[in-house]
Structure 1
Amino acid sequence: MPCATVFRLVGSACLQDVKAHHRGARNGDTVAVHQTRVALTRFRAAIAFFGPMVEDPEWTRLKSELKWLNAYLGATRDLDVAIGNAPRERLFRTARAESQRQLRRALTSDRYRRWFKDIVDWVNHGPWSHMSDHRLVRLRASPACEYHARRLAGWHEKLVKRSRGLQGMGGRKQHRVRLASKRLRYAIEFSEDVLPKDDFARWRAIVKQLRKAQQILGELHDAEAARALAAELQQRIKTSRAGRQRKPLELLDKKEKERLLQRAAVAYRRIAA
């Protein structure tokens, strides 16, 4: 199967998931908001994976609109996670209601409808699909199994290097490792029907460790994000009206963070093996 065909299949499946969860996300369903973000993250992973052959000027425009949409989805999802971690924080619930109103306006806007139609059209027959550069023509027509094998190996090598020294990293670097882990995991998952079964068996074992590492780093990131969000919302209240000073929200203590990082480091060593 040629690479261009696989990209169309993967991209279309991601966008179909976005469409399937549109009504729920529009109405504030937490699962639908999350699944919409997952689908769009998978879509961006596919773009990065096939980037050498699909990134064109039209994608630059569509990516800008995707960033606009993700700002609303991300704000709402962050509040959902914060509420799950600290359900007694009324600040989060108040902010979530307003965030959902903004998300609903975005998802029911003409801007969103135009973007979704355009991006579906782009996946199927955008400029990338008929650019005449000989290198791009060869890439689009090349066997997907060979391309996937090379690309996965490259992404895996980069992640192994990036994850070294995880326990000594700051929060931002750890978060970047988490994002790279998620991207590699998604790329492996949409390679299952492309690679030979024997070759994919190794990647399946890596996915298991990626899930573990991603979950652990996600817990650390979510705790820090909730703390920062609570501080930001409290500051807004203080600037709008007199409010009492509150203790900072802390969901994980130092020992818990160290324990989680140790577990994540073990997972990354297994990924590297």
Structure 2
Amino acid sequence: MTSAASPDRERVARPKRPRHLSQAMRCETAFRLILSECLEEVATNHEALSSGNSAALHQTRIALTRLKAAVAFYGPMVADSEWTRLKSELKWLSAHLGATRDLDVAIANSKDLPEERMLQTARTDAFDALKEALQTDRYWQWFDGMWDWVGSGPWTTRQNRRAAQRRAVPVAVFHARRLARWHGKLCQRSRGLQGMGKNKRHRVRLASKRLRYAIEFSEGGLPADVYASWRNVLKHLRKGQQLLGELNDDEVRRALLESADALARRAQERKAKHQRVHERKRKSQLLRRAAAVYRKISD
């Protein structure tokens, strides 16, 4: 079990830096700027998130999703053993954030319905678990570890020629090539969308989200006319993400209600079992007392 972080532990406030990508910028510089922006967003929302603010929760999830998209976008350049460890910790944190956020959305879609109160109760429990996670050393070690990894992780010091070339590639060259590849994969994955099962559709949604963020990252790093064509794709991605997001929200809400119903049924079954045991004991007790009385009558 991780211990709670000491309340008097001072957190170093990292300066807010504007992100200015340029076409000639090296990929390693661009990656650091993008990741720094994501981590700064997490830091900015931390206090409000710890107080239960739903908007801060949403913004923190977006920042972490953008962070994961950026790591995936730069792929081989940054993949190392330290990221594998940090990614595992990020999965733990994301699970807490996701559980609370899913309930926020479900509650918003259940206003004045009978299940709203049940979802509110579940949200309270989920947020308590999230708040506890945000106060642990495990969380702060992950957060500080991310900053260290971005600035001086193993990926920054690889000496082989291929690694050095990846870090030095100009943004305009790398982003153009990578965006085209991600776009092609999404087009392939989204074929036959209407007949897809839930899992495949979910992968399309995630790929759409990642491509959207990758295009947004690329602003300033591509020639204006090239970026203009991607901006049109971006417009459609946002709409598609919204539609698939609404579908996902409906499915998550249904799953939450089914889970809550299952928990309620189990609780009812335990209560009924307890009642039956109580009734059997009472019956036995009353019969013993009655038998004792009738023995006295017979005497």
- TM-score of the superposed pair, with normalisation by structure 2: 0.80
Query: Structure 2 regions of 5+ residues with no counterpart?
Result: 1-24, 271-299
Shift of 1:90: 1.5
122-131 vs 40-49, greater mean Cα deviation: 122-131
2:41, 2:65 → 1: CA distance? 11
Shift of 1:24: 1.3
SS of the counterpart of 2:218? coil
Cα RMSD for the two superposed structures: 1.0
2:171, 2:196 → 1: CA distance? 36
1:173, 1:139 → 2: CA distance? 32
Post-superposition CA distance 1:62-119 (Å, at most 9, x none): 0000001011000000000100111232211000001010000001111101110010
1:225 matched to 2:249? The reply is: no
Alignment correspondent of 2:204: 177
Correspondence for 2:168 among 122, 130, 141? 141
1:119 matched to 2:146? The reply is: yes
1:33 matched to 2:57? The reply is: yes
Alignment correspondent of 1:69: 93
2:153, 2:76 → 1: CA distance? 15
Query: Structure 1 regions of 5+ residues with no counterpart?
Result: 244-273
- Count residues in correspondence: 243
Shift of 1:241: 2.6
Alignment correspondent of 2:194: 167
Alignment correspondent of 1:79: 103
- TM-score of the superposed pair, with normalisation by structure 1: 0.87
1:214 matched to 2:234? The reply is: no
Output aligned runs, 1:13-24, within 5 Å: 13-24=37-48
Larger Rg: 2
Correspondence for 2:265 among 238, 241, 245? 238
Post-superposition CA distance 1:182-205 (Å, at most 9, x none): 000000000002111111000000
**Could you tell me the percent identity over the aligned residues?**
56
Runs of 4+ more than 4 Å apart: none
1:194, 1:57 → 2: CA distance? 29
Residue type of the partner of 2:64? L
Output aligned runs, 1:97-116, within 5 Å: 97-116=124-143
1:90 matched to 2:114? The reply is: no
